[in-house]
Chain A
């Protein structure tokens, strides 16, 4: 090969017209936005991997990470439960021990109005869901009281809130921020994620797609083990569709539906893929 000359060499046997055609190939450059667009899509595509590992089950670090995520969510609900019980105790001091007992029993049978936002499943549905997704974190949920079951299940099988309701849900989450140092840190992650999702959704509504991508990417970096993974992913899929990256969106939608077939967002994603 060493005897061959490149055609762009003056000494080669190519003529000037042929060289000019070859030189025109040097001008090919990607559009300025391409690099960031592809990077955003890449991050989204890569984000599937850890979740797949967590839901399929497997072991060690993944299971540990899943357990951590679950306990973060449950801690917030535990704080609510503690507050509720404390309130009852104060009231009970005046009204009598039997009255407290009655009220606790009443509460267990009919949850207070705050539970309407995310209805707590019954024990029966709990065990059914646990059977389908037997992660170590979820199994441990079976030994805690009813007040902590909802968030644990929410983490395992998908939060009971569709992304469209995130805006309305934010104040409720934000009020948990000051509940002790532990819960405060956990609450701040949830709050931060919720804020990021709300912002990204607003940007999506306004058609500011690049900004929405950037917001989701920033959130992904800030919270590598997200509490609101499914909301994040559902929003990213919608964003990819809206930005015309259909094949990437479909790929992620398939992965999402495969791993979270019963997610509250599954129907929305199915509708997107049918378009």
Chain B
């Protein structure tokens, strides 16, 4: 896309990009900790930036990388304003609530909800930078080099963020296991 394009052509190109990458951006924002309640607004913010910056975008570069970087900034802004409002950024990340809701559904869905809640809780414990590296590497399946390129940081930085993020993830899982173990023992003792 070039700046000489008519507004109609620009909008048509933008719509194409939007339709193709909306789910990617939505997921990225979700994984970066934007609450379900705010996801539509955040996606809109991200794509407004995409639209405005599109004439400057170099199509030699992968567009998903660029969109992800925009999503990261949007999530970062939202996290900052959520902190300022003293609100929890991710209201969906309440494990107990999730598990409670899951009790109403069948066993398989209950298990999935519980695991998703654990994942959310673990991701919430990370900084946004660690979270971005972890989700890109472990969930999106990017290589370290790709993550470095997307986030525009050196590979050793990616390495160290991933290491710390994994530690946080494991600690969160360990806490869950310890709680579960304690619950089982308590229930056994009550019998």
Q: Mark B43-64, 1 if CB is under 8 A from A, else 0.
A: 1100110010000000000000
Contact of A1 among B18, B43, B148, B166 (CB under 8 A): B148
Asked if B23 and A29 make an inter-chain contact with CB atoms under 8 angstroms apart, the answer reads yes
Among the stretches B65-73, B82-90, B133-141, the one at the interface with A is: B133-141
What separation, in Å, do the CA atoms of A8 and B134 have in the docked complex?
Answer: 12
Contacts of B112 in A (CB 8 A): 24, 27
What separation, in Å, do the CA atoms of A2 and B155 have in the docked complex?
Answer: 10
What separation, in Å, do the CA atoms of A45 and B49 have in the docked complex?
Answer: 12
What separation, in Å, do the CA atoms of A10 and B135 have in the docked complex?
Answer: 18
Q: Mark B20-40, 1 if CB is under 8 A from A, else 0.
A: 001100110011000000011
Q: In the assembled complex, how far is the CB of residue B174 from the closest CB belonging to chain A, in whole angstroms?
A: 10
Tell me the A220-266 residues at the B interface (CB within 8 Å): 224, 245, 247-248
> Within 8 Å of chain B (Cβ to Cβ): is A41?
yes
What separation, in Å, do the CA atoms of A8 and B142 have in the docked complex?
Answer: 12
> Within 8 Å of chain B (Cβ to Cβ): is A18?
yes
Q: In the assembled complex, how far is the CB of residue A35 from the closest CB belonging to chain B, in whole angstroms?
A: 5
B156 to A, closest residue via Cβ: A1
Tell me the A19-38 residues at the B interface (CB within 8 Å): 20-30, 34-35, 37-38
A35 to B, closest residue via Cβ: B22
Tell me the B122-161 residues at the A interface (CB within 8 Å): 122, 135, 137-139, 141, 143-145, 147-148, 155, 158-159
A30 to B, closest residue via Cβ: B26
Asked if B40 and A37 make an inter-chain contact with CB atoms under 8 angstroms apart, the answer reads yes
Contacts of A28 in B (CB 8 A): 27, 30-31, 116
Number of A residues contacting the other chain (C-beta, 8 Å)?
33
Whether A41 touches B158, Cβ cut-off 8 Å, given contacts A6-B141, A25-B119, A27-B116, is no
A61 to B, closest residue via Cβ: B7
Contacts of B18 in A (CB 8 A): 39, 42
Whether A25 touches B116, Cβ cut-off 8 Å, given contacts A8-B138, A38-B40, is yes
Contacts of A45 in B (CB 8 A): 44, 48
A22 to B, closest residue via Cβ: B138
Asked if B48 and A42 make an inter-chain contact with CB atoms under 8 angstroms apart, the answer reads yes
What separation, in Å, do the CA atoms of A41 and B44 have in the docked complex?
Answer: 7
B38 to A, closest residue via Cβ: A247
Asked if B41 and A247 make an inter-chain contact with CB atoms under 8 angstroms apart, the answer reads yes
Asked if B138 and A7 make an inter-chain contact with CB atoms under 8 angstroms apart, the answer reads yes
A39 to B, closest residue via Cβ: B18
Number of B residues contacting the other chain (C-beta, 8 Å)?
44
> Within 8 Å of chain A (Cβ to Cβ): is B8?
yes
Contacts of B19 in A (CB 8 A): 35
Whether A18 touches B170, Cβ cut-off 8 Å, given contacts A28-B31, A29-B23, A38-B22, is yes
Asked if A46 and B43 make an inter-chain contact with CB atoms under 8 angstroms apart, the answer reads no
What separation, in Å, do the CA atoms of A28 and B162 have in the docked complex?
Answer: 22
Asked if B40 and A245 make an inter-chain contact with CB atoms under 8 angstroms apart, the answer reads yes
Asked if B143 and A2 make an inter-chain contact with CB atoms under 8 angstroms apart, the answer reads yes
What separation, in Å, do the CA atoms of A8 and B166 have in the docked complex?
Answer: 13
Q: In the assembled complex, how far is the CB of residue B88 from the closest CB belonging to chain A, in whole angstroms?
A: 18
> Within 8 Å of chain A (Cβ to Cβ): is B74?
no
> Within 8 Å of chain B (Cβ to Cβ): is A11?
no
Whether A1 touches B41, Cβ cut-off 8 Å, given contacts A6-B138, A20-B115, is no
Q: In the assembled complex, how far is the CB of residue A239 from the closest CB belonging to chain B, in whole angstroms?
A: 14
Q: In the assembled complex, how far is the CB of residue A76 from the closest CB belonging to chain B, in whole angstroms?
A: 26
What separation, in Å, do the CA atoms of A24 and B7 have in the docked complex?
Answer: 41
Asked if A30 and B162 make an inter-chain contact with CB atoms under 8 angstroms apart, the answer reads no
Contacts of A1 in B (CB 8 A): 143-145, 147-148, 155, 158-159
Q: In the assembled complex, how far is the CB of residue A229 from the closest CB belonging to chain B, in whole angstroms?
A: 15
> Within 8 Å of chain A (Cβ to Cβ): is B75?
no
Contacts of B22 in A (CB 8 A): 30, 34-35, 38
Chosen A-B contacts, 21 in total, with CB atoms closer than 8 Å, are A1-B145, A2-B143, A8-B141, A21-B115, A22-B119, A22-B139, A24-B115, A24-B118, A25-B116, A25-B119, A28-B30, A30-B22, A34-B40, A35-B22, A38-B40, A42-B44, A42-B47, A42-B48, A42-B51, A46-B48, A245-B41
Interface residues of A (CB under 8 A from B): 1-2, 4, 6-8, 17-18, 20-30, 34-35, 37-39, 41-42, 45-46, 50, 224, 245, 247-248
